[in-house]
Amino acid sequence: MYPLPSLTTEQMREVDRLMIEEYHIELIQMMENAGRNLALLAKRMLDGDMADRPVVVLAGRGNNGGGGLAAARHLLNWGAWVQLLLTHRPQEYRGVAAHQLSILQAMDAPLAWAEDGWELPPADLIIDAVIGYGLQGNPTGAAANLIALANSSVAPILSLDAPSGLDTATGHLYSPHIVAAATMTLALPKAGLLTPAARAAVGQLYLADISVPPALYERIGLDVPPIFATDTILSVEVADGTARVSV
């Protein structure tokens, strides 16, 4: 098992900045990689059979939500019955998240948002893409309502990058926060995901490739081998605050 370095929230922001400014790997490309890997992990969790499987995708209007919306598109294409619950009305989405949402609207994907009166349809799996590493304080409003609804369901929850409501820098669990069966984090594990306090909310941790060049990690002082040589989604073992993967 290979021990992985973990990223602080500031380091992850620097990775995103370097990806865009130095390597010209745009946000929408990273979002596509994240969304497809999230959909693939959802498929694995449902034993590889997506035909008519009910999946609920909870999506905020930030980049984390955009990744969830990209995953929803793949799941729809694979035959799943996908219901999207948004934190805001579609016209309030901006940038790449709005672009992902517009594709789903063109596909006539079923959408609901806060004004529709929150009800969670029956599901075999819930995907949490409400809040990513930009969380600041307790979730409020529609985001908090979605988190509470998700936790009240008997369906397992798969979180993108971090369970919504968890501080990826410190591992602090805000109220409310998602209690996930599994979390698929991106690029490298975030430090907060590895703390003892966070483990019950994170569930089984997975790591997904978003095509970060090894030389970029060197720029921020990290030595990372080609860990995704065998698969773009890796199961992560966590012990004593250290993440390890098989390479």
Q: What is the mean pLDDT of residues 199-228?
A: 95
Q: What angle do CA 177, 154, 149 make, to 5 degrees?
A: 40
Pairwise pLDDT comparison (8 vs 198), residue with the higher score: 198
Q: 230 lies in which domain range?
A: 2-245
Say if residue 109's pLDDT is above 90.
yes
Residue 238's CATH number: 3.40.50.10260
Asked if 52 contacts 80 with a C-beta cutoff of 8 angstroms, the reply is: yes
**Tally of domains in the chain:** 1
Say if residue 115's pLDDT is above 80.
no
Say if residue 170's pLDDT is above 80.
yes
pLDDT (0 to 100) of residue 116:
67
Q: What integer best gives the mean pLDDT of the chain?
A: 94
Sheet arrangement for strand 81-86 = 2-4, 242-245, 233-239, 204-208, 182-186, 157-160, 125-129, 54-59, 81-86, 111-112
pLDDT digits (tens, 9 = 90+) for 131-161: 988 788 999 999 999 999 999 999 999 999 9
Asked if 81 contacts 151 with a C-beta cutoff of 8 angstroms, the reply is: no
- 184 DSSP β-pair partners: 160, 206
pLDDT digits (tens, 9 = 90+) for 31-75: 999 999 999 999 999 999 999 999 999 999 999 999 999 999 999
Compute the distance between CA of residue 77 and CA of residue 189 in angstroms, rounded to an integer. 29
Residue 235: which pLDDT band, with cuts at 50, 70 and 90?
very high
Q: What is the mean pLDDT of residues 212-216?
A: 94
